[in-house]
Amino acid sequence: DVTDGNFVYEFGGPVGAASMIIGFPLLMAYQFLCVYDNKGQFLLPSSLADFIPWVARMSARYWEIAYPSWAGIKIYMGFTLFTVALAYICPGPVMYGYKVPSLNGQRLAYHCNALWAWWITVGTALALHFSGLFRLTQIIDNLGPIMTVAMIWSFLLAGAVYAATVLWGKKHRASGNFIYDFFMGVCLNPRIGTLDLKMVTELRVPWPVLFFISLSCALKQYEEIGYVTPESAFMVLAHWLYSNACNKGEECVMTSWDIFYELESWYLLFWNLAGVPFSYCYSSIYLLKNGPMNFSLGWNVMCYVLLVTGYYFWDTGNSQRNRFRMFWNNTLIKRNAFPQLPKGFIPNAKYLQTTHGNKLLIDGWYAYARKPHYTADLVMSLSWGLITGFGSFFPYFYLTFFTIVLVHRVGRDDARCARKYGADWDEYMRVVPWKFVPY
């Protein structure tokens, strides 16, 4: 149906949606100026009377250093087009997702070649850098224009997806309110031939771009001081681990909430294409602008241990839940993509059978909490802040924002599952009563 009478407004309804559509780009612009142009310190008006002049000064400064230049367009859109081309041509297994009710139970095919595309992209980028054809330091030098191009592109793509869906008469879970539907999305499975738009924008753009920003910061630091500090190396490792994990485990993402349930929306496109790479990089930029930090060996070791520990439970937690689903969906395959960690798959996993037909995992890390992978994700995000010390709030923005997002998402998930599973969900909550940490 065009509209869904059972839906409930989320995110504050149309007013909340409009506020975020306007507010998030402004927030990103403000934070960029604070981190990139003011060494991670807040930029504030001197008085209430100075507010309007302050807005004018901030706007002028942002346009001066972050207008959508030709260099920014070439870098961001060149990467995007290269990514899309690789998605079409790289080898990889073809996997099938859940049955889609709106497609009469059809299972969509996903060409899972992100791992090949990821390593080709990394190899190409390094070859361009060391050959001098494109120095990766140009990313940090042009970060403002690149970010502005990314924000503009996300609006254009969201508008195109919305318009095409309306024209084809294939809206899903629509409210009938334009602003809210644009924000939340009305298209479930946007595709261009074999290319699944949600898969590409979820995995292949945000995290690799974030990695290259951090790598660019480290290479810039090397140019400026002659070496890369342990803290900057930490951020390169952190963002490599995350991006590599997303690409090596692409076949697991088909069963995730974002792919099988969420609609392709402004908020998904904006946050994946612009928000993630250009808001989660503040630690890397702060370290470049304020380094070297000269923290103690013990502090740095603690941060590295926290990162690697969080990564292990995040990687294996996501692997456990998604490979459990794949096993029962008859789509489980064995892959040897690096790194394959112990406890990534649980043979003969215990589960709770629902009358709805689905099985709820109650084994592995999911015997102790319902969302252990979120807990591990938050531990990693904490380490991204701690490696910078306590001189600025902005390296902790990711942790702050992500905590709010995950708590909200868990609430949405619990409400949806309670409606879907009824008494079985109550039993599941009794068996695994803890959301994030057992206590």
pLDDT tens digit sequence for 239-257: 999 999 999 989 888 877 7
SS3 100: strand
User: How high is the pLDDT of residue 3?
Assistant: 40
The CA–CA distances, whole Å, from 28 to 21, 41, 147, 267, 275 equal: 12, 14, 9, 14, 8
Q: Which helix (DSSP H) or strand (DSSP E) does residue 304 occupy?
A: helix 297-328
Distance of CA 261 to the CA centre of its chain: 16
pLDDT tens digits for range 19-31: 999 999 999 999 9
Residue type, 278: F
- Tens digits of per-residue pLDDT, 163-216? 999 999 889 888 999 999 999 999 998 999 989 999 999 999 999 999 999 999
Residue 1's pLDDT band (cuts 50, 70, 90): very low
pLDDT reported for residue 6: 59
Report, as an integer, the average pLDDT of 323-341. Answer: 87
Confidence (pLDDT) at 356: 87
pLDDT at residue number 334: 84
Q: List Cα–Cα distances, 265 to 24, 51, 94, 160, 204, in angstroms.
A: 15, 34, 25, 11, 17
